[in-house]
Amino acid sequence: MYRSLFSVGGMTLISRATGFFRDVMLGALLGATALADAFYVAFRLPNHFRTIFGEGAFNAAYVPSYAHVLETEGAQQAKSFANYILTLLLISQLIVLALAFLFMPSLVTMLAPGFDAEPEKFATAVALTRITFPYLLCMTLVTLHSGTLNAHRYFSAAAFAPVLLNVVMMATLACSFIFPNAAIAAAVGVVISGFAQLGLVMLAAWRAHILAVPVRPRFDAHVRRFFLQLMPAVIGAAGVQIAMFADTIIASLLPTGSVSAIYYADRLYQLPIGVIGIAAGTVLLPEMARRFAAQDEQGAFRAQNHTMALTAVLSAPFIIAFLVMPDVIIQAVFMRGAFTLEAAHSAAAVLAAYGVGLPAVVLIRSAVASFQAVGDTRTPMIISLGSVAINVVFKIALYKSMGAAGLALATACGAWLNFGALTWIAMLRGSMQADENLKKVMVSVIGASVMLTCFAYSAREPFGVFFTQFHFYPREITLCALGLVGFIIYALSLIFLLRMNGVQRRDFHQL
Comparing 42-51, 181-190, 347-356, which segment has the lowest mean pLDDT? 42-51
pLDDT, residue 425, reads 93
Structural domains in the chain (count): 2
Q: What is the band of 508 on the pLDDT scale with cuts at 50, 70, 90?
A: very low
Segment 240-263 mean pLDDT: 73
Residue 17 vs residue 363, higher pLDDT: 363
In angstroms, the CA 273 to CA 51 distance is 15
Percent residues over pLDDT 70 in the chain: 90
| Residue 226: CB atoms within 10 Å | 24
pLDDT at residue 453 greater than cutoff 70? yes
pLDDT at residue 5 greater than cutoff 80? no
The torsion angles phi and psi of 191, rounded to 5 degrees, stand at -70, -35
Comparing 102-106, 263-267, 347-351, 492-496, which segment has the lowest mean pLDDT? 263-267
pLDDT at residue 234 greater than cutoff 70? no
Boundary of a domain, candidates 434, 468, 494: 434
The CA-to-CA distance between both ends of the chain, in Å, stands at 11
Contact (CB, 8 A) for 166 and 22: yes
State whether 339 and 480 are in the same domain: no
Most confident of 81-90, 326-335, 444-453, 457-466: 444-453
Kindly state the helix (H) or strand (E) to which residue 186 belongs, with its residue range.
helix 182-207
State whether 369 and 451 are in the same domain: no
Alpha carbon of 63 to those of 124, 178, 391: distances in Å? 38, 42, 29
State whether 172 and 306 are in the same domain: yes
pLDDT, residue 243, reads 67
- Rg (alpha carbons) of the chain, rounded to whole number: 22
Q: Which residues of 70-107 are buried (b: 16+ CB within 10 A; e: fewer)?
A: beeeeeeebbbbbbbbbbbbeeebeebbeebeeebeeb
Mean pLDDT of the chain: 83
pTM of the model: 0.69
State whether 242 and 284 are in the same domain: yes
State whether 322 and 443 are in the same domain: no
State whether 385 and 453 are in the same domain: no
Comparing 52-61, 285-294, 343-352, 481-490, which segment has the lowest mean pLDDT? 52-61
State whether 29 and 159 are in the same domain: yes
Per residue in 396-415, pLDDT tens? 888 888 888 898 899 899 88
Residue range(s) defining the domain that contains residue 503 = 435-511
The secondary structure of residue 276, as a DSSP letter, is I
pLDDT at residue 457 greater than cutoff 70? yes
